[in-house]
């Protein structure tokens, strides 16, 4: 068996710690496809796992990293053969199954998605779980019947990974996008992505009234807590908010008023266990609808040895857009 470089999280009496290490291939978990990983990315959940700020990891030792892209090295799965390019998001990767911050991964072929035509592995990881989640949110709003003629769409956590991709997607689809951010200096960046209006997150982050003035028809929220509650109170009749994050908190201090007086809907977005049919649809739409020039603007690339440092930066709110990790 061979060894390869990985980030390894171990639990000891003194606490949990992430470090770069040599990992033996014999320690990889069961799976019918082995992938040579070329790229990964840094998401908020990866930051939580590496810094041990939240109990994301549920098995030790663990290789974190909830995303990867790479090339099939060996396969007993009939859907994949050596040389195929694949991507993986979720399915417990980096939480219960050894993840993407390593030069090799062994996983279930049923978890994989073929790299869409026209996308490189690096572009797929520039999108990553954050961008894929943003696309799932847009699809949910579309299934709800919402269209741009109903009014604006709001995006919270606008300068983050989910927010940046959501703005780029919605603006290309013709929506007037309102971006909520706590970083006023990012206004030019958000307008480049397609935001028509910027509001300070302070307008939404405190306790609010049961019902407010109707301001938007749709929204993508990665913040939760009071922010999500305030989004709902200011959503137009028959509108909906797609909720996919908890940067402010897991609580929802809300009233039933928006639901029973305005017919507002709250759409839950889960990227981890999302069915394959919807995953493939999301990736096909991303390959078609996401402006590649905008994707370049929101992305920076780091070497593998910068991941642990970057994990702390993403939790501190210092990361704008997306971070691609060159693994291979």
| Number of domains the chain is built from | 2
pLDDT at 57: 94
Is the residue at 276 inside a domain? Answer: no
Rounded to 5 degrees, φ, ψ at 220 are -120, 115
Is the residue at 25 inside a domain? Answer: yes
Identify whether residues 245 and 133 lie together within a single domain.
yes
Distance of CA 325 to the CA centre of its chain: 15
Is the residue at 316 inside a domain? Answer: yes
Task: Answer for the pair 324, 125: CB distance below 8 angstroms, yes or no.
Answer: yes
| Residue ranges of the chain whose pLDDT lies below 50 | none
Identify whether residues 256 and 306 lie together within a single domain.
no
CATH of the domain at 200: 3.40.50.720
Rounded to 5 degrees, φ, ψ at 227 are -60, -50
pLDDT at 1: 58
Q: What residues pair up with 235 in beta bridges, in sequence order?
A: 216
* Rounded Cα distance, 121 and 67, in Å: 11
H-assigned helices in the chain: 44-51, 121-143, 161-172, 187-193, 225-233, 257-261, 276-289, 292-297, 307-315
**Of the candidates 175, 150, 147, 149, which has an alpha carbon nearest to the alpha carbon of residue 236?**
150
- pLDDT tens per residue across span 97-149: 999 999 999 999 999 999 999 999 999 999 999 999 999 999 999 999 999 99
Range of the domain at 88: 3-115+298-326
Is the residue at 320 inside a domain? Answer: yes
Q: Is the peptide bond before 61 cis (omega within 30 degrees of 0)?
A: yes
Identify whether residues 108 and 148 lie together within a single domain.
no
- pLDDT tens per residue across span 230-266: 999 999 999 999 999 999 999 999 999 999 999 999 9
Identify whether residues 101 and 78 lie together within a single domain.
yes
CATH of the domain at 21: 3.90.180.10
Identify whether residues 149 and 204 lie together within a single domain.
yes
pLDDT at 13: 79
Helix-strand-coil percent breakdown of the chain, rounded to 5? 35, 30, 35
Identify whether residues 213 and 152 lie together within a single domain.
yes
Is the residue at 278 inside a domain? Answer: no
pTM of the model: 0.93
Identify whether residues 239 and 306 lie together within a single domain.
no
Is the residue at 256 inside a domain? Answer: yes
């Amino acid at each position: 068996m061979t060894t390869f470089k990985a980030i390894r999280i171990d639990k000891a009496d003194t606490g949990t710690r992430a470090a770069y290490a040599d990992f033996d291939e014999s320690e990889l978990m069961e799976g019918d496809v082995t992938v040579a990983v070329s790229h990964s990315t840094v998401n908020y959940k990866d930051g939580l796992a590496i810094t041990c700020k939240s109990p994301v990891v549920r098995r030790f030792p663990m290789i974190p990293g909830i995303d990867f892209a790479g090339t099939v090295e060996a396969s007993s799965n009939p859907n994949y053969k050596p040389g195929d390019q694949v991507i993986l998001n979720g399915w417990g990767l980096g939480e219960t199954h050894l993840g993407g911050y390593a030069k090799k991964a062994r996983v279930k072929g049923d978890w994989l998605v073929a790299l869409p035509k026209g996308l490189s592995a690096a572009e797929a990881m520039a999108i990553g779980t954050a961008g894929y989640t943003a696309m799932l949110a847009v699809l949910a709003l579309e299934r709800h019947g919402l269209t741009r003629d109903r009014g604006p769409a709001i995006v919270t956590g606008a300068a983050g990974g989910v927010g940046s991709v959501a703005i780029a997607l919605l603006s290309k689809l013709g929506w007037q996008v309102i971006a909520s951010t706590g970083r006023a200096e990012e206004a030019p960046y958000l307008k480049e992505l397609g935001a028509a209006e910027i509001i300070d997150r302070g307008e939404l982050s405190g306790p609010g009234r049961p019902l407010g003035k109707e301001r938007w028809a749709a929204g993508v929220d990665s913040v939760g807590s009071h922010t999500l509650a305030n989004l709902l109170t200011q959503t137009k009749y028959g509108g909906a908010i797609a909720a996919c994050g908890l940067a402010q908190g897991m609580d929802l201090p809300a009233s039933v008023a928006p639901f029973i007086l305005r017919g507002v809907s709250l759409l839950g977005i889960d990227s981890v266990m999302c069915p394959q049919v919807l995953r493939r649809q999301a990736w096909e739409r991303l390959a078609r609808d996401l402006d590649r020039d905008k994707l370049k603007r929101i992305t920076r690339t780091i070497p593998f040895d910068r991941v642990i440092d970057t994990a702390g930066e993403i939790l501190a709110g210092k990361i704008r857009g997306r971070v691609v990790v060159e693994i291979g």
